[in-house]
Structure 1
Amino acid sequence: MLEEVERWLADRSWSVADRPLDQLLAAKRAAGTTVSVVLPALDEEATVGDIVEVIRRELVDGLPYPLVDELVVVDSGSADRTAEVAAKAGATVVHRDDILPRIPAVPGKGEVLWRSLLATSGDVVCFVDADLRDFSAAFVTGIVGPLLTEPDVQFVKAMYDRPLGDAPGQGGRVTELVARPLLNLHWPRLAGFVQPLGGEYAVRRSLLERLPFPVGYGVELGLLVDALHTVGLDALAQVDVGVRLHRHQDGQALGRMAAAIYRTAELRLSRGHSPGHRWGHPRLRPALTQFERGPHGFEPRTHPVDTEERPPMADIEEYAVRRVA
């Protein structure tokens, strides 16, 4: 297994500099591939506009042939000016609840990403988190690049440094404490991914529409594991795009995120998505109790853990009708 991971790292790990923009544009035009960029957003007025402006200036308006055909911000109920700022910067803004209204929406990032497949049409769908600071277009060109130049690649994750304050590489706390141990223990073929939980990745629609989507924070791990079992390791890749600066959450929020990720992994283990797996379906309590100090000592706060998953979008009637049309 270690030899396979080392081979994959040599064959399927690249740098953004390996594929200049002119090469990507030529490959895109020759193949007629279309690219959609999706930013899931909730109260991100401080950063979403800058991200949209960079993508439009460098990958749409400033080129003889656009690399990005659709730039869509899916707003999941912001209380601030996220939608206004994104639209002014040049994005198409769609509200989560206006997509597939037949099915009531639930809170969660994965829910937004799932619904975005109905709000876009690109052959390649590129997800970018809306809280990034000092955004570079390399986040898009890096992860879209292999999908335009390597016919066998279907799923590409960004990899990057994630500083925490002045400490380099310390920003991925849930990755190092939860996701990486889970992957190494149960899906060791995925051990080579530097940022398995990163929110920046690009996928061929033909694959993405076949995958179930956890509605919450487990969506990145769930998609990665399911992609491995659907198309195999050599169809997956990663690209180094530099440094990722973004807002960091507090310890309790990270604890809730970790619980959702563990639950997502547990569901896949129960389906047999692990070599040599022997478990049945464990009965887990889908809640997380945390503590805060109050006037009378430590007080419990219990939060539900995301357990819901959306079916593959290809199974949704409205999507199938749209794809045929």
Structure 2
Amino acid sequence: MLEEVERWLRQRSWSAADRPLDQLLAAKRAAGTTVSVVLPALNEEATVGEIVATIRRELMSRPESEPGGAGVPLVDELVVLDSGSTDGTAKVAAEAGARVVHRDAILPRVPALPGKGEVLWRSLLVTGGDIICFVDADLREFRARFVSGIVGPLLTDPDVHFVKAMYDRPLAGGAAGAGAAGQGGRVTELVARPLLNLHWPLLAGFVQPLGGEYAARRSLLERLPFPVGYGVELGLLVDALHTVGLDALAQVDVGVRLHRHQDDQALGRMAAAIYRTAQLRLARGHLVRPRLTQFDRGEEGGFVPRTAAVDTEERPPMTEVPEYTTRHAA
């Protein structure tokens, strides 16, 4: 097994610099492939505008009347999927040039559930690209290579179906390179990586298995179930392995990822959801709906329990949704 992982690391791990932009554009034109970028967003007005502006400026075609000319047409559509923001996220994203779609406007016959995976699943219904690239909306000092890097293998190698970004992830909040590179993925190191190594050792080579930046062919994503909450990244990675095999998966080094870090209690809820997502895939049919109890210091001393349900809901593959199949048949 170790030898197989080492072989995969040699053959399916790249740097964003390995595929220059002109090579990607040539491959895109030759194949007629279209690319959609989706930013799931919840109260990200401080960062979403710059991400959208960078993608539009460096990776999208623009009218020649706009400053900078026609741009580079790597990305065909850019969608910010708002999952219920109460700040100015939608306004900022639209002003920066994204198409903004509210989660509740998609597939209204199915009431929306809270969670990141829910909006990623619904995004398949409002995008048209052959390749779909997901980017978290809380990134700071965003660089276009986060998109071009992970889209690259899908444009140049027909055998690749799913690509994750890998990066240094400093815990410190300063400039790129500040802080310890490996300390920003606490749930990855304490929960996800042990689970993958123990139960899906073929996936042990992924540097950032829970990272929010990844791209995949629509033809794969539409066949996968989507956990609605924090477990979506682990669920998609494991299910992609079982659907298309290890050699159809890849990862690309895009540098340094800076973003807002969660507090310990949020990380606890994330860890529980990720563990539950793994458990669902290991023991389907023998399940109870779990809850997680955490503790806060009370105002009068002592500890006060706070109990929340662990995300366990999953959405079916899009090929099982009539609205989706009707649209694509048309």
TM-score normalized with structure 2 length: 0.94
Which range moved further: 63-72 or 86-95?
63-72
Instruction: Confirm or deny: 8 A CA contact 2:57 2:71 kept in the other structure.
Output: no
Q: Deviations over 1:275-325 (max 9, x none)?
A: xxxxxx444451100011101401100011001000001110000011011
Q: What is residue 78 of structure 1 aligned with on the other side?
A: 85
In structure 2, C-alpha distance between the alignment counterparts of 1:210 and 1:31, rounded to whole Å = 22
In the alignment, structure 1 residue 244 sits paired with structure 2 residue 257:
yes
Q: What is residue 309 of structure 1 aligned with on the other side?
A: 314
Partner AA of 1:316 in structure 2? V
Q: What is residue 269 of structure 2 aligned with on the other side?
A: 256
- Counterparts of 1:1-325 in structure 2, within 5 Å, are 1-60=1-60, 61=62, 65-165=72-172, 166-271=179-284, 281-284=285-288, 286-294=290-298, 295-325=300-330
Instruction: Confirm or deny: 8 A CA contact 2:226 2:317 kept in the other structure.
Output: yes
Q: What is residue 176 of structure 2 aligned with on the other side?
A: none
Partner AA of 1:312 in structure 2? P
Q: 5+ unaligned residues in a row in structure 1: which ranges? A: 272-280
Q: Among the aligned pairs, what percent are the same residue?
A: 82
1:65 CA displacement: 4.9
Q: Deviations over 1:118-148 (max 9, x none)?
A: 0100000000000000000000000000000
Q: What is residue 65 of structure 2 aligned with on the other side?
A: none
Q: Deviations over 1:37-84 (max 9, x none)?
A: 000000000000000000000001365551000000000010000000
Give the CA RMSD over aligned residues.
1.0
Q: Secondary structure at the match of 1:192?
A: coil
In structure 2, C-alpha distance between the alignment counterparts of 1:293 and 1:58, rounded to whole Å = 48
Q: 5+ unaligned residues in a row in structure 2: which ranges? A: 63-67, 173-178
In structure 1, C-alpha distance between the alignment counterparts of 2:279 and 2:181, rounded to whole Å = 31
Q: Secondary structure at the match of 1:322?
A: helix
Alpha-carbon distance change, 48 to 263 in structure 1, aligned in 2, over 3 angstroms: same
Partner AA of 2:294 in structure 1? Q
Q: Deviations over 1:85-142 (max 9, x none)?
A: 0000000000000000010000000000000000100000000000000000000000
Aligned length: 316
Q: Deviations over 1:20-44 (max 9, x none)?
A: 0000000000100000000000000
In structure 1, C-alpha distance between the alignment counterparts of 2:12 and 2:314, rounded to whole Å = 29
1:270 CA displacement: 1.3
Q: Secondary structure at the match of 2:111?
A: coil
In structure 2, C-alpha distance between the alignment counterparts of 1:27 and 1:235, rounded to whole Å = 18
Q: Deviations over 1:223-244 (max 9, x none)?
A: 0000000000000000000000
In structure 2, C-alpha distance between the alignment counterparts of 1:185 and 1:50, rounded to whole Å = 39
1:169 CA displacement: 1.9
1:256 CA displacement: 0.2
In structure 1, C-alpha distance between the alignment counterparts of 2:76 and 2:17, rounded to whole Å = 22
Instruction: Confirm or deny: 8 A CA contact 2:280 2:287 kept in the other structure.
Output: no
In structure 1, C-alpha distance between the alignment counterparts of 2:168 and 2:134, rounded to whole Å = 18
Q: Deviations over 1:221-267 (max 9, x none)?
A: 00000000000000000000000000000001000000000000000
Q: Secondary structure at the match of 1:156?
A: strand
Q: Secondary structure at the match of 1:119?
A: coil
Instruction: Confirm or deny: 8 A CA contact 2:58 2:72 kept in the other structure.
Output: no
